Structure 1
């Protein structure tokens, strides 16, 4: 994993896995969404389709970090880009939609994320994509990569939007449909359609997804790969449909943009699944240097470490990214949210420090 560390107050350099990107172009996708393209830095920004970068900004005199998926493909796009949808009351999303301009330099943490796959020219895959709103962003990068890397693979995209004018990448998607009529099928589902809309409408449900997949089945291809990203309701519906058809969970990739970690913690508490909150002494090793410090009752390991000005990694602070990943060498923690980790990582003992609280003594964590 990358070593992504919070800057020490006396240190002007954050580390090798941080870099700066200069804004090249800002494209208005919809009334509340922009795509920000960056100049390619030196050295080249290395990323996989579907991954995200974390922006580090200073707004209102405070450092803020937000993670945004790359909408571009390293195989087709000369310049990396992110797409940002405005969130009501969102400090960073509003700033990026309203004030970011070409020439601005933004510090980032290098790409992370498991919402990706490997490509090979001999593959004959069926990529089934279900996206909602800005969830199309990482999926767009994957679709572009499929077309250029796997000439015999096909893509079925179900894309949910609130209205026709809120379809992000509409022109690009239409162009792809025209260019690859035998390889790409797109089904737009509009929740608040105009009177003239003739496509799918209303809430996406399991039967809609199953009907589309049954009518667009490619028996000559390999086992389908499923990717879903967007609001929880859209993703839950998609996964329910995939599993009801009988596909293995290992072929399903999910990317969450939001997690109500506090609500999840309250639910776990009410179910009696969390340990008593006590102040505990722990040891964390970062880049080979060990630190011993107390984690006050109620605080996460990350919060306590940052309070001590320890250079611990972090980005989303909601358990969805892997920037704060560490390996639990001894002891036990309560991990409230583990969506950013794969099953194999969890089995290997990795935890997310931003959503983990000490549940025993003798806790030792190594962050590499």
Structure 2
């Protein structure tokens, strides 16, 4: 995966970054914390299921990481992100170990399309599958559904490694009691203790199909978040049970761009890599620069000090989204874009490489 970070520049309109003060830090599991922030003025406007990009400086080098909001704007007075420690992870370890209430963090505005709208007259069945920290955005959506749609219900199949690693364990138990008959939580542990009496082992397509077979219906909607293998298995199970692909909503935290590009090259689906000049319009100003063979449009833009927005750099977050006005690009990963956005000509600069001349992109 590309891992290029540039020193932070404030956007010309001053709206790209927000400073949030940490109000409280809650230990959710042995390797996971939730950071709750004081509400800024004006209040942070976000949707359940979206994420915040945290911007940190380590010895003069900027690092950006995206973390999903676990809170609901309809329920929780303070917004919060949940961070699971990654072995050797610079940012996740810092956020888990070094922060205290009162510290401020710079973030980018909330982003993400792993959301829904709510109405009190809706009568839906949300079928959710989460793995590990994938519970984070699903937690915010679940709380929002339960409080906004009294006739809707939620079934959550949640896979964790062990009892000690069940994130939001107490919150889920409390919600299940508060909304008895409307929230069903089914835990599956891959490495349980000998005392565990629930589901255990690997959640493959067959097992997911067995658990969810009576949850499929015309009123059901489907949300998946977690490791790619788990989401693929869940989606396969749902499609086998008759669920249409467009009804399944996914949120990915990671994609290996290098591996995906290698597969596309092997299949002959990418144009020859050549150095090409592109025009990128940012906040009404045109920037012309060369994109060397092998680089993405975002990487080249940052190398030329163009203040292009970005976050994950893996084709998932859409922070670097632009509209292709002319020319052609090879987009290695488009998971962050909807089908309609792609049809309208939107691309992700972090995963796109020039495939023709006369490329012109506007970042709106």
TM bin, normalised by shorter chain, reads over 0.9
| Structure 1 CA distance for aligned equivalents of residues 342 and 213 of structure 2 | 34
Q: Does 1:204 align with 2:206?
A: no
Structure 1 residue ranges, 4+ long, deviating more than 6 angstroms after superposition: none
Instruction: Specify which of 342, 346, 352 is matched with residue 346 of structure 1.
Output: 342
Alignment-derived partner of residue 322 in structure 2: 326
Matches within 5 A, 1:137-152: 137-152=136-151
2:71–2:80 CA contact under 8 A, matched in 1 = yes
Secondary structure in 1 matching 2:176: helix
Deviations 1:37-64 (Å, cap 9, x if unpaired)?
A: 0000001100000000101111232111
Please tell me whether the aligned partners of residues 8 and 309 of structure 1 are also in contact (alpha carbons under 8 angstroms): no
Establish whether residue 172 from structure 1 lines up as the match of residue 171 from structure 2: yes
Matched length:
359
Would you say 1:242 and 2:241 are equivalent positions?
no
Distance verdict in 2 for CA 1:137–1:145, change over 3 Å = same
- Taking a change above 3 Å as real, the CA distance of residues 195 and 126 of structure 1, as seen in their structure-2 partners, is same
Alignment of 1:239-318 (within 5 A): 239-318=235-314
Q: CA deviation at 1:246?
A: 1.0
Q: CA deviation at 1:36?
A: 0.3
Deviations 1:183-221 (A, max 9, x none): 01111010011111111100002222222223446x6xx
Where does the alignment leave 5 or more consecutive residues of structure 2 unmatched? 1-5
Q: CA deviation at 1:283?
A: 0.5
Q: Is the 8 A contact 2:310 2:320 kept in 1?
A: yes
- State the TM-score, normalized to the length of structure 1: 0.95
Of 299-308 and 204-213, more deviation after overlay is shown by 204-213
Partner of 1:23: helix, strand, or coil?
Answer: strand
Contact preservation (8 Å) 2:329, 2:355 = yes
Q: Distance in 2 between matches of 1:198 and 1:49?
A: 32
State the secondary structure of the residue aligned to 2:277.
strand
Residue in structure 1 matched with residue 96 of structure 2 by the alignment: 97
Q: CA deviation at 1:224?
A: 0.8
How far apart in 2 are the matches of 1:356 and 1:168? 35
Looking at structure 2, the residues matched to 8 and 128 of structure 1 have their Cα atoms a distance apart, in angstroms, of 40
Deviations 1:304-332 (A, max 9, x none): 11111111010001111010000001100
Distance (Å, rounded) in 1 between the aligned partners of 2:71 and 2:34: 10
Which residue of 2 is the match for residue 355 of structure 1?
351
**Corresponding residue number in structure 2 for 1:3:** none
Shift of 1:342: 0.8
Match of 1:122 in 2: 121
For residues 166 and 307 of structure 1, the distance between their equivalents in structure 2, rounded to whole angstroms, comes to 41
Q: Greater CA deviation, 56-65 or 88-97?
A: 56-65
Aligned-pair distance for 1:8?
6.9
Q: Deviations over 1:95-141 (max 9, x none)?
A: 00010111111111001101000000000000000000000000000
- The 2-side partners of 1:82 and 1:101 are apart by 14
**Cα distance, 1:358–1:179 mapped onto 2, change above 3 Å:** same
